[in-house]
Structure 1
Amino acid sequence: MQNRRNLLKASAVLAGGAVSGFPFIARAQSARILRFSHTDTSVGAAHDAATRFAEAVEKYTSGRCKVQVFHSGQLANDAKSLDQLQLGGLDFALTGVVTFTPHVKDLSLIALPYLAENYEQGWKLYDTSKFIKQQADLLPAKGMRIIGNWEAGFRSFTTNFPLNSPADAKGRKLRIAPVEMIRWIMESIGFSPVVMPVTEVYLAIQQNTVSGQENPIDTIFSQRFYEVAKHVTLSQHVYSPRWLAMAERTFKGLSPADQEGVLKAAKEAGDWNRREVRANDDRLLAEMTAKGATIAKPDLALWRKASEGAYERARKEFGAAAVDQMLGEAAEIRKSMS
């Protein structure tokens, strides 16, 4: 009888549970640790939203999952973070939607210039576009799943020279993300684009390897690019939100209840992030101005005209049907919300 009791005790310990009649045997519960990577610094709406997401995941999974957030590219740059999702080195990655284009080529079309004129139009585009959904639905087969529409904003320039018009861009080296569409836009404007990870850009501008870069205001502020490229030109040439991606193997490894909790947390943190980025633009520009940056709000018609070469190159590369679908959906939203 005693041997049987001992076996029950051992079984309870191995199973991590308690056996009726043995209240002193506590259930051993260990949370699943999930790793979240992004390349923004710890100052800014991206990291704040990631922290909120981590807190919400723990809450909605009743502590079964805990998220560790790593900022400033500590674990990987933007492109490599997606590789790590596929390989199992990461569980979550927050990065610009344009970063996914090497994995789904037609996603390049979301970087067509001037698809949206304001945040509300951009949000509706990403929440309702059939074209964008078709491309996102291809990602689980490549090892990653989009679980949230988050925000970065409209891409603009920071340069170490005055950028009064597209004519001033001719021949200047400008850092870009590894996205064909962005390259075509920059070449159409007159820049000489240089691809490099965002984590290397500050030093590259400081050493005059490049003369500037293009990113949304929140990223310009959090990465402090305005310190080394003091001329901020609000061209707003591409609406450039972020996606929160999750490793498909991690998602599939969670219970349905925990999957639901993670998705709920991603939606809540993403909605907060959208509102925060939109509300912060003027404040961040004012703070950059106070620290020595010069903010220029140019006539956007000049920049739209200068970017037009990207449309023709896109039609040749991706086909007129895909380009026209993306442009048509965006135009319909602009019209309905104007």
Structure 2
Amino acid sequence: MQKRNAHRGLLAAAIAAGLAFGVTPSLAATVLKFSHTDNPGGSRQAAAELFAEKVAEYTDGRYEVRIYPASQLANDPKAVEQLQLGGVDFTVTAPGTYATHLPSLNLMALPFLVDTFEQGWELYDNSAWVKGEFDKLPEKGIHILATWEAGFRSFTTTMPLNSPEDAVGEKIRVYPNDMIRWTMEAIGFQTVVMPIPDVYLGIQQGTVSGQENPVDTIKSLRFYEVAPYITLTRHVYSPLPLAVAESTWETFSDEDKAAFTKAAQEAAAFSRELVRGSVDKQLAEMEEAGATVTVPDVGPFREAVETVYEQARGVYGDDVDKILADAKAIRDKMPAE
């Protein structure tokens, strides 16, 4: 007991000395790696920073989330693989990236599922089908904490894209996702699979005529500089599920699990409001920089992609109608203004 009291006395004296010299003492925090592909100025980075701050707050500084943006550690597919292997602890990416390990998640990129942000939030938070699919991911080494926001996918191309006819003969970059590829091909494009860090140069060199992504991604990765025609088709709603490695999740106490979940959900609410509230400003900034922004008649695009639903049924069976039914119920309950 005397030795323990002596040790406590020495520790208290060291802390007091540190404070006297302006040094803030801290116990060594467990460092967790967070990999994503967004640039430091993008919404994913802003939400990741808030998440890291809240984790530190809710765990009394016992955990430090260290963020690696702009593909410093891995592109999106590799980040998910590293998540499964324990090389990274967190990543945030589109559902289609996780679909490599659970193919049914490709269906979340079916075209024109929802028309508004609010409908999309309802789908990802409360759809029985979506929840059921996310519940299958822990056995793949992936645990979904919350769904962050990217927005609706639209085009940036090197030429005007007023209708599907303008896509014929042109090459478009896609990531490895059946729905996106089928949708692009139904519109008329030839598809080229390409990691997102290579897209800017691929457009610049003429390998592809453009790409499709949410406005926030178009802005943060500066695709409008090399593909200045921005066409707001909003053909796919593209949120960003935030995942923690299941191996990491299993090390947390119940109290810590609650803390990480709370931090993730608060960052999700921030992400959603940030992205929705930034679209008009980002488009105006890109126009000022020389981009041309158009809102086409989406009717011909909707008609062009009708074949995708039947194509999906041939591969994914009843799951197609389950997610379509959930989406329709939400659209009926929350109609666009």
TM-score range, shorter chain: over 0.9
Q: Secondary structure at the match of 1:210?
A: coil
Deviation at 1:22, TM superposition (A): 3.2
Partner of residue 329, structure 2:
332
Partner of residue 11, structure 1:
none
Partner of residue 299, structure 1:
297
Deviation at 1:93, TM superposition (A): 0.2
Distance 1:23 1:130 in 2: 53
Partner of residue 18, structure 2:
none
Partner of residue 68, structure 1:
66
TM-score by length of 2: 0.93
Post-superposition CA distance 1:276-297 (Å, at most 9, x none) = 1000000000000000000010
Post-superposition CA distance 1:167-211 (Å, at most 9, x none) = 000121100111011111011111001111111100100111111
Deviation at 1:143, TM superposition (A): 0.7
Partner of residue 26, structure 1:
11
1:28-43 → structure 2 map (5 Å cutoff): 29-43=27-41
Selected match of 1:242 from 217, 240, 260: 240
Q: Secondary structure at the match of 1:215?
A: strand
Distance 1:35 1:22 in 2: 34
Instruction: Please state if 1:88 is matched with 2:73.
Output: no
Contact 1:40 1:47 in 2 (8 A): yes
Gap regions ≥5 residues in structure 1: 9-18
TM-score by length of 1: 0.93
Q: Secondary structure at the match of 1:36?
A: strand
Distance 1:143 1:114 in 2: 30
Partner of residue 14, structure 1:
none
Partner of residue 137, structure 1:
135
Which residue identity lines up with residue 150 of structure 1 in the other structure?
W
Distance 2:276 2:95 in 1: 18
Distance 1:259 1:87 in 2: 20
Selected match of 2:47 from 49, 57, 62: 49
Which residue identity lines up with residue 76 of structure 1 in the other structure?
A
Ranges of 4+ aligned residues in structure 1 off by more than 4 Å? none
1:190-209 → structure 2 map (5 Å cutoff): 190-209=188-207
Which residue identity lines up with residue 22 of structure 1 in the other structure?
H
Distance 1:228 1:21 in 2: 67
Q: Secondary structure at the match of 1:22?
A: helix
Deviation at 1:21, TM superposition (A): 4.2
Deviation at 1:322, TM superposition (A): 1.3
1:107-126 → structure 2 map (5 Å cutoff): 107-126=105-124
Which residue identity lines up with residue 52 of structure 2 in the other structure?
A
Selected match of 1:264 from 253, 262, 265: 262
Deviation at 1:66, TM superposition (A): 0.5
Partner of residue 184, structure 1:
182
Deviation at 1:26, TM superposition (A): 2.9
- Calculate percent identity across the aligned residue pairs: 50
Deviation at 1:232, TM superposition (A): 0.4
| Cα RMSD, aligned residues only | 1.3
Post-superposition CA distance 1:148-174 (Å, at most 9, x none) = 110000000000011111100012110
Equivalenced residue count is: 322
Q: Secondary structure at the match of 1:47?
A: helix
Deviation at 1:29, TM superposition (A): 2.9
Deviation at 1:25, TM superposition (A): 4.2
Distance 1:22 1:59 in 2: 28
Partner of residue 277, structure 1:
275
Which residue identity lines up with residue 321 of structure 2 in the other structure?
D
Distance 1:63 1:269 in 2: 18
Deviation at 1:23, TM superposition (A): 2.4
Q: Secondary structure at the match of 1:333?
A: helix
Distance 1:112 1:25 in 2: 63
Gap regions ≥5 residues in structure 2: 13-25
Partner of residue 16, structure 1:
none
Deviation at 1:46, TM superposition (A): 1.1
Contact 1:45 1:273 in 2 (8 A): yes
Distance 1:29 1:264 in 2: 23
Distance 2:116 2:10 in 1: 59
Post-superposition CA distance 1:242-265 (Å, at most 9, x none) = 010000111111222222111110
Q: Secondary structure at the match of 2:92?
A: strand
Which residue identity lines up with residue 150 of structure 2 in the other structure?
A
Distance 2:87 2:310 in 1: 39
Distance 1:132 1:249 in 2: 22
More moved, 323-332 vs 249-258: 249-258
